């Protein structure tokens, strides 16, 4: 059965050919999105999750008596969350700029007499 050779039929065939070329041409771009950097950052994000769970667990352990200083796990967990948020923003950006310029607090040693940070 022969198809009619009208302008609408020709337009449809041309549109399908252009669409097929676009879809086949975009395959390398999609494949390039799975770069090693993204894989490494995703692995780093999983490791940060593990570190956060370890810090949460360690914060529940009893502190040794007589020690003047102890590790500030709450502050560490806040910094881990900032790093994790930066990685997630990079892996799935909502917009290109601006980035959140939150600085890490650091200094994880506290006097024993101090209360835990909020």
30-87 pLDDT tens trace: 444 568 888 999 899 999 999 999 999 999 988 888 888 888 899 999 999 999 998 8
On whether residue 4 sits in a domain, the answer given is: no
On whether residue 24 sits in a domain, the answer given is: no
pLDDT confidence band for 95 (50 / 70 / 90)? low
On whether residue 98 sits in a domain, the answer given is: yes
Q: Which domain holds residue 104?
A: 35-118
Mention every residue, 6+ apart, whose C-beta is less than 8 A from residue 105.
Answer: 75, 78, 79
Beta bridge partners of 36: none
Do residues 16 and 33 touch, judged by C-beta distance below 8 A? no
Neighbours of 55 (CB within 10 A): 19
On whether residue 20 sits in a domain, the answer given is: no
pTM score, whole prediction? 0.53
Question: What pLDDT does residue 27 have?
Answer: 46
CA angle 82, 84, 89 (to 5 degrees): 95
Q: Is the per-residue pLDDT at 117 higher than 80?
A: no
Q: Is the per-residue pLDDT at 108 higher than 60?
A: yes
Q: What sign does the CA torsion over 23, 26, 28, 30 have?
A: negative
Domain count, the chain: 1
């Amino acid at each position: 059965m022969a198809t009619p050779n009208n302008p609408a039929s020709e337009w449809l065939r041309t549109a399908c050919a252009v669409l097929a070329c676009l879809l086949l041409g975009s395959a390398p771009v999609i494949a390039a999105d799975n770069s090693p950097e993204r894989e490494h950052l995703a692995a780093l994000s999983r490791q940060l999750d593990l570190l956060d769970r370890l810090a949460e667990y360690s914060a529940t352990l009893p502190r040794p008596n007589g020690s003047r200083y102890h590790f500030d796990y709450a502050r560490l967990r806040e910094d881990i969350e900032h790093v994790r948020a930066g990685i997630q923003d990079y892996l799935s950006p909502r917009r290109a700029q601006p980035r959140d310029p939150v600085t890490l607090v650091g200094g994880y040693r506290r006097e024993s007499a101090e209360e835990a940070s909020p």
